[in-house]
């Protein structure tokens, strides 16, 4: 059963210059399309990963899923409730209680003036819940000491701070957690500890993760299904086994070829060519065609539709 259902999701930002500058320069408004017509379904108790280069729209989708950004188009349904369109405030509040987010920078997301006890219990205290002993219990659950509840964030290492962020996310007993690059700021050894902790908590508590990452090794280890984004568009979706064994989209193939490998010492791989086009002026047709060696005239004129292909979904005219 799908816990999250996203249909034709889009998000456009107005990045125009101030009004007076536009009048003097006689320039029109400028709009940036961060997410364009993304449709995905996420099963309960699974991990869905979003991968892609910087600027591909991963974090924007994560913020729309958790309700920090409103969609410009399309719908986001959490257990059948559209957070942007639902008029019943009680239903929206009930769904929001079941969603939490783990941010990329564990130090920037923790209030330096608050003690850890107050940070962890804030989601529950904000709704008038009972917080007695909650912080100590959660700290023990994520591998820290109950005595750490009286400390401040600066007294912890990066990995310990991320564990505090995980404890805060668990405080309201959520079902869905959006993980925005949860290990990118950590050392490799600490990354493994945090990922193993997240995996254990998922199994013990029946959690559903949306994992946003650019680290393909992390994604392969954690995800049940992977969505590849390019310039705000979903270009491929598959299981880790299918995606890593036989990627069908040229962009996915480029990402996997550029990723570091344990057995890749001495291999001669050409670096990725080109840069992501300007999102305020995206190319017509397939967004990847300016960087694709296989591009045809059809790729330059017609936007490919995401279609089923052997258990995967691919947006490429030449996927076969």
Distant-in-sequence, close-in-space partners of 295: CB < 8 Å, separation ≥ 6: 286, 288, 289
Q: What are phi and psi of 250, to 5 degrees?
A: -55, -35
Q: What angle do CA 10, 16, 20 make, to 5 degrees?
A: 155
Using the 8-state DSSP alphabet, how is residue 214 labeled? S
Domain ranges of the chain: 2-98+174-262+269-314
> What residue ranges of the chain have pLDDT lower than 50?
none
What is the predicted pLDDT for the residue at 264?
57
The DSSP code sequence of 81-150 is: EETTT---HHHHHHHHTTEEEE-S-TTTTS-TTS-HHHHHHHHHHTTT---TTHHHHHHHHTT--GGGGG
Matching residue, tokens 């013990």 = 204
What is the predicted pLDDT for the residue at 269?
66
Tokens of 182: 């949860």
What is each CA distance from 23 to 16, 20, 32, 175, in whole angstroms? Answer: 12, 5, 20, 49
What is the predicted pLDDT for the residue at 293?
85
Q: What are phi and psi of 64, to 5 degrees?
A: -75, -35
What is the predicted pLDDT for the residue at 2?
87
Domain 2-98+174-262+269-314: CATH architecture, name and number where available: 3-Layer(aba) Sandwich (3.40)
What is the predicted pLDDT for the residue at 26?
92
Q: By three-state DSSP, how is residue 4 classified?
A: strand
């Amino acid at each position: 059963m799908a816990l999250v259902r996203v249909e034709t999701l889009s998000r456009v930002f107005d990045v125009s210059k101030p009004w007076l500058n536009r009048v003097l320069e006689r320039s029109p408004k400028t709009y940036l399309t961060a997410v364009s017509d993304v449709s995905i379904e996420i099963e309960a108790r699974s991990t869905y990963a979003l991968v892609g280069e910087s600027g591909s729209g991963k974090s924007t989708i994560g913020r729309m899923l958790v309700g920090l950004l409103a969609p410009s188009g399309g719908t986001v349904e959490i257990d059948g409730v559209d957070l942007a369109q639902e008029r019943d405030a009680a239903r929206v509040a009930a769904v929001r209680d079941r969603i939490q987010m783990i941010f990329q920078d564990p130090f920037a997301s923790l209030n330096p003036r608050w003690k850890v006890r107050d940070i962890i219990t804030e989601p529950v205290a904000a709704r008038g819940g009972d917080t007695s002993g909650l912080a100590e219990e959660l700290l023990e659950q994520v591998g820290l000491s109950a005595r750490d509840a009286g400390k401040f964030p600066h007294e912890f290492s990066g990995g310990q701070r991320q564990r505090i962020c995980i404890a805060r996310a668990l405080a309201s007993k959520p079902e869905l957690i959006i993980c925005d690059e949860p290990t990118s700021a950590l050392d490799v050894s600490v990354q493994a500890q945090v990922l193993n902790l997240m995996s254990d908590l998922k199994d013990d508590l029946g959690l559903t993760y949306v994992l946003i990452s650019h680290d393909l090794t992390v994604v392969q280890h954690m995800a049940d299904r992977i969505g590849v984004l390019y310039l705000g568009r979903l270009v491929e979706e598959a299981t880790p086994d299918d995606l890593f064994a036989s990627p069908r989209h040229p962009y996915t193939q480029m990402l996997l070829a550029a990723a570091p490998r344990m057995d890749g010492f001495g291999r001669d791989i050409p670096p990725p060519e080109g840069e992501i086009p300007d999102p305020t002026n995206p190319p017509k047709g397939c967004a990847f065609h300016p960087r694709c060696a296989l591009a045809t005239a059809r790729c330059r004129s017609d936007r490919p539709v995401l279609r089923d292909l052997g258990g995967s979904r691919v947006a490429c005219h030449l996927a076969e």
